Amino acid sequence: TARGPRDRRVRLSVSTAIQFYDIQDRLGYDQPSKAIEWLLKKAKPAIDELNQLPPAPLSIGCASSITPSKD
């Protein structure tokens, strides 16, 4: 948008929200985005490993059936 990135909200389960806000408080951050940035930075090695995994197989629902036309 003209005013910057769009606000994206995420719904968390109650237990996950409690854990997240506990981490945010322990870090001393007043903005959830700062805690998310910290978590992503700390998880970077594990996230980088995900890129090395083979791609997930396509699910059956995603396969398209194309029937060749008969001339």
Residue 24 contacts residue 35 (beta carbons within 8 Å): yes
- Give the pLDDT confidence score for residue 70 in this predicted structure: 59
Work out the pLDDT band at 69, boundaries 50, 70, 90.
low
Q: E strands, 1-71, where?
A: none
Domain boundary assignment for the chain: 14-52
Residues in the chain: 71
- Give the pLDDT confidence score for residue 33 in this predicted structure: 93
Q: What is the pLDDT of residues 6-61, one digit of tens each?
A: 777 889 999 999 999 999 999 999 999 999 999 999 999 999 888 776 777 776 66
Residue 26 contacts residue 19 (beta carbons within 8 Å): no
